[in-house]
Amino acid sequence: MPLLQVENMTHYFGGLRAVHQYNLEIEPGQIRGLIGPNGAGKTTVFNLITGIHHPTRGSIFLEEENIVGLRPHQIASRGLGRTFQNLRLWRHMTVLEHVKMARYSRLTYGLAGAFLGTPKRNREEEAIEVKALELLEMVGAESFAHQNVLQLPYGAQRRVEMARALATEPKVLFLDEPTAGMNPEELLQMMEIIRLIHKTFGVAIFLIEHRLKVVMELCHQIQTLVFGEVIAEGNPLEIQNNPKVIDAYLGKDIVA
Amino acid sequence: MTSKTNSDWRFRLKRFWAPVPLLGWLLGALGAVILEHIAGDPFSELLGLPKIPVLFGALVMLKKPLLIPSALIYVLVIYGMPLALVGRLCSGLANQAAKRLLQFSKPFSVLIHLVLLYAVLHTWSDLSAYRLLTLKFTLIAVMLTLSLNVINGYMGEFSCSHPGFMALGAYVASTFTLSLFVNDRLFGEALLPPSLGPFLFPLALIAGGLVAALGALVVAIPSFRTRGDYLAIISLAFMFIVKSLFENLEVVGGPRGMGSQPNWANLPTVFIWTVLCVWVINNFVRSTFGKALNAVRDDETAADAMTVNTRRTKMTGFLFAAFWAGVAGGLFAHVLRYINPSTFGIQRLAEMLAMVYFGGLNSVYGSILGAVSLSLLSEALRPLEILKWIIIPLLLILVMIFRPTGLIAFREFNVGNLIKPKIQTRIED
Amino acid sequence: MIFFLQNLVNALQWGSFYALIALGYAMVYSILMLFNFAHGDIFMVGAYIGFGMATLLVALAEMGAVAPPGWLILVLTIIISMFLTSFLGMLVERVGYRPLREAPRASAAITGLMIGIILETGNLMLLGAQRVRFPTLIESTTYDLGGVFVTNKKIMIVLVSISLMVALHQFVKRSKWGMAMRAMAFDYAVVPLMGVSINKVAQLTFAIGSALAAAAGILFGIAYPVLDPYMGIVFGWKAFVAAILGGRGSIMGAALAGFLLGFIEIFTAMIFPSTLRDLIAYSIILLILVFRPHGFFGEDYSARLRL
């Protein structure tokens, strides 16, 4: 049974067709990639599945439940975590607060606890703090825990965003260009973190990437998106040798 | 070389006062106000002052500049001396006491501190009706500033609706108390014996708060779709609508307003409600539910993707803040014992905004600082009459230029840190 | 029907004030991304400067051998006052807003509020609490247009207002500086990269906006000769609402919204008791904003007051 299933998703922004007959099946624990030239609609696909826009046509099933029409936080609570292409951080909060915030849906102490500081609230807050520190340790950012997130170097910020997404306890993790702007050393670190996450949590991962090295080494299955349509789908070897893919990337260097 | 000696004396000063716990300062303050009770009158006569300076000498100094030295001496001797002496000399004892109290039970320690604080305020204000009134208005200002900070600071909106919330609370609470307990021209005979009044007063205030929270829906629901400038206008429109509504409601007095509210907003009542307000709001903003306000402010899309229910967060923020503004309005009505619609207009808005932005955004400390300092300043500068309205705005403009988010922004209370004993450590340079 | 037309004329006049003031707000809002809450008080100062000018000129005329006609004095008053008030606007920009250009917009908003209070207090200090009366410069003549009574003052006010708005529109559309303003409204950061000084555009924006407010003030003084230091507050905030209703990025939208606000107020006063006027007008505005949250002509994004 596929964890996430998208059927014939089509989306128009006004008169512009952004995504056409898009299909996706992600099995539990699978790592899938989404590549394609700039402007192909990859982030739009992400935004449609995570609920930021409602697709004009098509259906999306998360664990057999139709999630079209649900609000993003509802979809996130059901196990769909994500990171963002442009690093959406909260400029006045510390690293630890970022990761703790993502545990929002797990909190049960309600407004009474929030207003009155009940023992239940103290217990739950402490529990999410412990969990948050664990996740930060996993991505190697625990030493920054109490710093404002804007003070961190870029690579560390990306890792914090990763820990934040993990804190939602996703079954599927959508990563939007996780290595964008990274130097080769940071890139290898990030790939290690992705592998570690996959091994530790068994989470399925759906990855948008431009660095083909990352996609080829990590992904089980890859889709190539051009002008909102999937032109090729297969394992890394098949994609690398697919003439349509090569054509879409005409002249592009396959460089890490 | 020079800078080292400069920071050196500041450092030494800090080190000198560092070991005094909050308990010590409170005891010192208590000593000061008791001293004033005993020796205030004769001492001020000795110094040639017309009477005990009511507002730390500020009014005297402005009205009769010749008496400035006397006023300064008074303040130093009556306030400064006990505070410094008791504070510093008894710091050892105070630290012991703070430690024992904390070990015994944190809530109990907090209670003792609050009782002491109340004792200080009560004793100080006992000497003059003017002091009492100023104190009450200052406490109410703290509630208003803090609740406005929830919307303007923590949620990052620019809300002009607070006078409207205050008005709703004031009118509802007044209607409650006047119709039920007082024979007055608007509502006729009292329905219940006035002795029941003080017990039902909290209900009146809560009713005011709840109606204000209901009113906040008018601003909260549009906030789902828009924010920033457009929400500012919607909140502004709301304020004008509420004001105009009460101007046209003859049943609550129309433009002439309502008066003779019963005198139930005494100092203990106002103090308790203020403490409650500060405590609850501080709890809220430190919780993850409260931090969600910040997350929605700083990046709503990310918050949404991280399972934060953005609509519920906004709703909670607005309604919660409006509730406290309503309660503060109810208290205000019963302290002033007269309200009319013009009390809740642009002037009030400007005052509240000034206190929030002056004290510091997104900050409990900042709200308290802003409310207390601007309230006292506003009173202290009264002798300057109209010049006051040049000085205070100028001061604010300076703060905006040099510290745009306010004096103490982004700082919450940590109650544990406040009441714990200050340990004497060896200072390494 | 006559009644309707009569009120239409009144609404045009009333709306002109709002429109002229709203233009100043809208310009600053679109080009500099900030609310100038002192603008209403600049309108007040403009009216008072006009009062001073007019009184001075009338006194000079009475002393001197020359006796210029009333309308000439009026024209001179308007021009000189617009000129002088524009300096006030530039001063406000230089002292209050330029230091805060990088600061959160809310801080600039508070500064504006405070400057407004200082202007009001300054007026009270200089002229005392009693109201002043704008000198009568033109004799009032009423024309009967088929049952609708229109005074020459009303006609003049509407005509002057509309000409000023047309002039502004042409300026923004055709002149070099107008183009700089439009560029800045579109993309704030790019303008200095193109060799245009943000400071100069800012000063010009404030100058023009303040001049228009001054014109509104004088025209208001002609229609309703009694001035008081707080007249700017009511008008200022309402014109502010109109500017936002017009939508960000649309200067003419603000003017139209100003007229609309005038219409709403006059016509609600026509139908309902006058005490309900504010209540109904603001409720209508609230409804408009709830259903069309970006104003009439604004782009579909909401500017955030960022901390």
Chain C residues close to B156, C-beta within 8 Å: 304-307
pLDDT for the residue numbered B429: 40
Question: Can you state the angle between helices C198-223 and C39-63, rounded to 10 degrees?
Answer: 60
Tell me the C-alpha to C-alpha distance, in Å, between residue A82 and each of A166, A212, C260: 8, 20, 46
Instruction: Flag whether B369 is in a domain.
Output: yes
Say if residue B205 is in the same domain as residue B249: yes
d(C-alpha C239, C-alpha C245), whole Å: 10
Query: How many Cβ pairs closer than 8 A exist between chain B and C?
Result: 143
Instruction: Flag whether C166 is in a domain.
Output: yes
Please, what are the domains in chain A? 4-79+170-248 (3.40.50.300), 89-152 (no CATH)
Compute CA A98 distance to the chain's CA centroid, rounded to the nearest angstrom: 16
Domain boundary among B125, B141, B172: B125
User: pLDDT tier at B4 (50, 70, 90 boundaries)?
Assistant: low
Say if residue B145 is in the same domain as residue B212: yes
Instruction: Flag whether B250 is in a domain.
Output: yes
Chains that touch C (3 or more CB pairs under 8 A): B
User: pLDDT tier at C304 (50, 70, 90 boundaries)?
Assistant: very low
Query: Which residues 297-316 on chain B approach chain C with CB closer than 8 angstroms?
Result: 297-298
pLDDT for the residue numbered A252: 53
Query: Which residues 118-147 on chain A approach chain B with CB closer than 8 angstroms?
Result: 121, 125, 128
In this predicted model, what pLDDT tens digit does every residue of A15-26 receive, in sequence order?
899 999 999 999
Structure tokens at B200: 């039902």
d(C-alpha B275, C-alpha B113), whole Å: 12
In this predicted model, what pLDDT tens digit does every residue of B209-243 receive, in sequence order?
999 999 999 999 988 887 777 888 889 999 999 99
- Taking the CA of residue B289 and the nearest CA in chain A, the distance in Å comes to 7
Compute CA B140 distance to the chain's CA centroid, rounded to the nearest angstrom: 5
The angle subtended at Cα B320 by Cα B371 and Cα B300, nearest 5°, is 100
The angle subtended at Cα C101 by Cα C96 and Cα C102, nearest 5°, is 135
pLDDT for the residue numbered C296: 64
In the DSSP assignment, the letter for residue C135 is P
Q: Could you give the number of structural domains in chain B? A: 2
pLDDT for the residue numbered C305: 34
Query: Which residues 108-137 on chain B approach chain C with CB closer than 8 angstroms?
Result: none
pLDDT at position A253 over 70: no
List the single residue in C108, C122, C289 with the smallest CB-CB distance to B234: C289
Pairing between strand A204-208 and A16-26?
unpaired
pLDDT for the residue numbered B41: 86
Mean pLDDT of chain C: 84
At residue B262, φ and ψ (nearest 5 deg) are -65, 150
Pairing between strand A16-26 and A57-62?
unpaired
List the single residue in C114, C117, C289 with the smallest CB-CB distance to B230: C289
Instruction: Flag whether C146 is in a domain.
Output: yes
- Taking the CA of residue B230 and the nearest CA in chain C, the distance in Å comes to 7
> 3-class DSSP state for residue B154?
helix
With beta carbons less than 8 A apart as the criterion, state whether C188 and C33 touch: yes
Say if residue B199 is in the same domain as residue B100: no
pLDDT > 90: percent of chain A = 80
Query: Which residues 222-281 on chain B approach chain C with CB closer than 8 angstroms?
Result: 222, 225-230, 232-234, 236-238, 240-241, 243-245, 247-248
Count the neighbouring beta carbons within 10 Å of the beta carbon of residue B344: 26
Where helices occur in chain C by DSSP H, the ranges are: 2-32, 39-63, 70-92, 105-127, 152-174, 176-186, 190-193, 198-223, 231-246, 251-271, 277-291
- Taking the CA of residue A155 and the nearest CA in chain B, the distance in Å comes to 19
pLDDT at position C291 over 90: no
pLDDT for the residue numbered A128: 94
Say if residue B338 is in the same domain as residue B261: yes
C293 touches chain B (CB under 8 A): yes
d(C-alpha C36, C-alpha C1), whole Å: 40
Say if residue B69 is in the same domain as residue B164: no
Chain B residues close to A118, C-beta within 8 Å: none
Q: Which residue of B has its CA nearest to A51?
A: B305
In this predicted model, what pLDDT tens digit does every residue of A9-56 receive, in sequence order?
999 998 899 999 999 999 999 999 999 988 889 999 999 999 999 999
In this predicted model, what pLDDT tens digit does every residue of B334-364 receive, in sequence order?
999 999 999 999 889 999 999 999 999 999 9
What's the whole-number mean pLDDT along residues A91-108?
94
Domain range for C246 is 2-291
pLDDT at position A150 over 70: yes
What's the whole-number mean pLDDT along residues C109-113?
92
Instruction: Flag whether B170 is in a domain.
Output: yes
In this predicted model, what pLDDT tens digit does every residue of C168-181 receive, in sequence order?
888 888 888 888 88
pLDDT at position C73 over 80: yes
In the DSSP assignment, the letter for residue B56 is T
In this predicted model, what pLDDT tens digit does every residue of B157-175 receive, in sequence order?
999 999 999 999 999 999 9
Instruction: Flag whether B427 is in a domain.
Output: no
Instruction: Flag whether C90 is in a domain.
Output: yes
At residue C150, φ and ψ (nearest 5 deg) are -125, 130
- Residue holding tokens 């021009």? C79
Beta pairing partners, B188: B184
Mean pLDDT of chain B: 88
Domain range for B382 is 129-416
pLDDT at position B15 over 80: no
Structure tokens at B110: 């907090």
H or E segment and range at residue B278: helix B267-286
Say if residue B112 is in the same domain as residue B136: no
Q: Could you give the number of structural domains in chain C? A: 1
pLDDT at position B1 over 70: no
Pairing between strand A204-208 and A31-35?
parallel
Count the neighbouring beta carbons within 10 Å of the beta carbon of residue A146: 9
pLDDT for the residue numbered B147: 97
At residue B50, φ and ψ (nearest 5 deg) are -60, -35
Whether B287 sits inside 8 A of A76 (CB atoms) is no
pLDDT > 90: percent of chain B = 53
pLDDT for the residue numbered B424: 54
pLDDT for the residue numbered C297: 61
List the single residue in A50, A101, A114 with the smallest CB-CB distance to B308: A101
pLDDT for the residue numbered A83: 95
Instruction: Flag whether C164 is in a domain.
Output: yes
d(C-alpha C2, C-alpha C147), whole Å: 6
What lies within 8 Å, CB to CB, of B241 at 6+ separation is B164, C278, C279, C282, C283, C286
Say if residue B398 is in the same domain as residue B376: yes
Q: Give the dihedral sign, CA C23/C27/C28/C29.
A: positive
Say if residue B99 is in the same domain as residue B164: no
CATH of residue C89's domain is 1.10.3470
Q: How many alpha carbons lie under 13 Å from residue C31 in its C-beta half-sphere?
A: 28
What lies within 8 Å, CB to CB, of B155 at 6+ separation is B293, B296, B297, B314, B317, B318
pLDDT for the residue numbered B427: 41
C37 touches chain B (CB under 8 A): no
List the single residue in C107, C124, C283 with the smallest CB-CB distance to B357: C107
Whether B310 sits inside 8 A of A125 (CB atoms) is no
pLDDT at position A91 over 70: yes
Please give the residue that has the higher pLDDT: either B70 or B151.
Answer: B151
Please give the residue that has the higher pLDDT: either C44 or B425.
Answer: C44
Q: Which residue of B has its CA nearest to A76?
A: B307
With beta carbons less than 8 A apart as the criterion, state whether C201 and C176 touch: no
Say if residue B70 is in the same domain as residue B195: no
pLDDT for the residue numbered C307: 35
Q: Which of B149, B400, B405, B410 to mutate to test the interface with C (most CBs of C within 10 A)?
A: B400
Please give the residue that has the higher pLDDT: either C136 or C259.
Answer: C259
Pairing between strand C132-133 and C226-227?
antiparallel
- Taking the CA of residue C100 and the nearest CA in chain B, the distance in Å comes to 6
- Taking the CA of residue C1 and the nearest CA in chain B, the distance in Å comes to 29
- Taking the CA of residue B227 and the nearest CA in chain A, the distance in Å comes to 17
Please give the residue that has the higher pLDDT: either A91 or B106.
Answer: A91
Where helices occur in B150-228 by DSSP H, the ranges are: 162-181, 197-220
pLDDT for the residue numbered C69: 78
List the single residue in B283, B301, B309 with the smallest CB-CB distance to A115: B283
- Taking the CA of residue A240 and the nearest CA in chain B, the distance in Å comes to 33
pLDDT at position C306 over 50: no
Mean pLDDT of chain A: 91
What's the whole-number mean pLDDT along residues B42-66?
84
What's the whole-number mean pLDDT along residues B400-415?
87
User: pLDDT tier at A256 (50, 70, 90 boundaries)?
Assistant: very low
Tell me the C-alpha to C-alpha distance, in Å, between residue C3 and each of B385, C10, C14, C146: 48, 11, 16, 12
Tell me the C-alpha to C-alpha distance, in Å, between residue A64 and each of A45, A60, A78, A172: 19, 9, 12, 14
Q: How many alpha carbons lie under 13 Å from residue C218 in its C-beta half-sphere?
A: 32
User: pLDDT tier at C248 (50, 70, 90 boundaries)?
Assistant: low
What's the whole-number mean pLDDT along residues A147-167?
94
d(C-alpha B270, C-alpha B328), whole Å: 9
Whether B288 sits inside 8 A of A107 (CB atoms) is yes
Q: Which residue of A has its CA nearest to B153?
A: A92
Chain B residues close to C288, C-beta within 8 Å: none
Domain boundary among B125, B159, B184: B125
Chain B residues with CB-CB distance to A under 8 A? Answer: 280, 283-284, 287-292, 294-295, 298-299, 301-311, 316, 362, 410
Whether B400 sits inside 8 A of C103 (CB atoms) is yes
Whether C104 sits inside 8 A of B297 (CB atoms) is no
In this predicted model, what pLDDT tens digit does every residue of C192-230 receive, in sequence order?
888 888 899 999 999 999 999 999 999 998 888 888 888
Q: Which of B306, B308, B363 to mutate to test the interface with A (most CBs of A within 10 A)?
A: B306
Domain boundary among B72, B103, B125: B125
Chain B residues close to C244, C-beta within 8 Å: 229-230, 232-233
Say if residue B93 is in the same domain as residue B135: no
Chain B residues close to A100, C-beta within 8 Å: 288, 291
Question: Can you state the angle between helices B162-181 and B310-336, rounded to 10 degrees?
Answer: 50
What's the whole-number mean pLDDT along residues A74-97?
94
Say if residue B96 is in the same domain as residue B194: no
With beta carbons less than 8 A apart as the criterion, state whether C253 and C105 touch: no
B151 touches chain C (CB under 8 A): no
Where helices occur in chain A by DSSP H, the ranges are: 42-49, 72-77, 95-101, 110-116, 119-138, 154-166, 184-201, 212-218, 236-240, 243-248
Whether B288 sits inside 8 A of A111 (CB atoms) is no
Instruction: Flag whether C183 is in a domain.
Output: yes
Whether B244 sits inside 8 A of C109 (CB atoms) is no
With beta carbons less than 8 A apart as the criterion, state whether C250 and C296 touch: yes
d(C-alpha C46, C-alpha C239), whole Å: 16
Query: Which residues 32-71 on chain B approach chain C with CB closer than 8 angstroms?
Result: none
Say if residue B111 is in the same domain as residue B145: no
